[in-house]
Amino acid sequence: MKNQKPSLSIIKIGGKLVEDEQNLKSTLEQFAKIKGSKILVHGGGKSATAWSEKLGLTPKMIEGRRVTDLATLDVVTMVYAGLYNKKIVSMLQAIPCNALGLTGADLNSIQSHKRIVKDIDYGFAGDIDFVETSILQQLLNNDVTPVFCAITHDKNGQLLNTNADTIASELAVALAPFYKTTLKFCFEKNGVLKNPEDDNSFFEKINFKDFQKYKHIGIISEGMIPKMDNAFFALKNKVDEVFICGSKAIHDQNGTLIQL
């Protein structure tokens, strides 16, 4: 009989769960209750936009994605890797949950390349090439909880702004051979909504065929589309379970279950 793989939960938090102090506190308390190994990934895009404006920069977005010039890269690095990452780690330590804040450059944990320019130049945006699973396993085996912000690197000294949903998905895929892996994308809604005006109208399950249909008729749109693309990427690459949910569902099975 084969040894059963240990469990791993990878939780990505974004939107108002990160931006609002009280929401963040209650979300981290839910996260700390998860039994077994866990990894947290966080965004912070609205604050990066606010800080850019305070510093006299004009944020540029194309189809909901940030264009990252060098000045913007400095801001997102300060906000994601500095302000938010260390705030989250200190809040987790108080619960207590023994967390370690990381960018992809730390321990060469997530290596990326600068996005190749096709139709649109997104600047210093990173597309992930490699996740160093051995060092992450060492941390998890020693009851350390990695906390990743949305910054990676190219191993040539260049930091890169990288989508937090993509980081969570790529971490889940890389670690799936070693763990029974659950991936959850958590935000201020209760799941993928049937009606954007009704937070309780979420789908309990969505498969790929449903996704294509709801996207075509506009029920699923804007920022939810890349989130679901990352969810299906994870499932196609042997991640056991994927949910899109609210913070109260972090350590249970509520929210929208994504299926192939």
Burial of 190 (C-beta count, 10 Å sphere; 0-12/13-18/19+) = buried
Q: List pLDDT tens digits, range 130-172.
A: 999 999 999 999 999 999 999 999 999 999 999 999 999 999 9
CATH number of 7-189: 3.40.1160.10
The stretches in the chain having pLDDT less than 70 are 1-3, 63-64
Predicted local distance difference test score (pLDDT) of residue 200: 81
Strand order in the sheet with 159-161: 126-131, 110-114, 151-153, 159-161
**Closest alpha carbon to 107 in 80, 82, 86, 137:** 137
Predicted local distance difference test score (pLDDT) of residue 64: 65
Predicted local distance difference test score (pLDDT) of residue 253: 76
Predicted local distance difference test score (pLDDT) of residue 49: 85
- Whether 205 and 245 have beta carbons less than 8 Å apart is answered as no
**What does each C-alpha distance from 20 to 46, 47, 92, 103, 189 come to in angstroms?**
11, 10, 16, 22, 14
Taking only Cα atoms into account, the Rg of the chain, rounded to an integer number of angstroms, comes to 18
Predicted local distance difference test score (pLDDT) of residue 106: 98
Predicted local distance difference test score (pLDDT) of residue 1: 45
